Amino acid sequence: MTDGLLRLIAENAPFIKELRITNSEYVTDLVLEFLIEKCIYLNRLHIIGNSEVAGISANLLKRCDHIYSCN
Residue 12 — pLDDT band, cuts 50, 70, 90? very high
pTM greater than 0.85 (yes/no):
no
Separation of alpha carbons 39 and 44, rounded Å: 11
| pLDDT tens per residue, range 21-50 | 888 778 888 898 899 889 989 888 888 776
Task: Indicate the domain borders of the chain.
Answer: 3-63
Q: What is the dihedral of CA 3, 15, 42, 29, to 10 degrees?
A: 20
Q: What pLDDT is attached to residue 52? A: 60
Indicate the DSSP class of residue 58: H
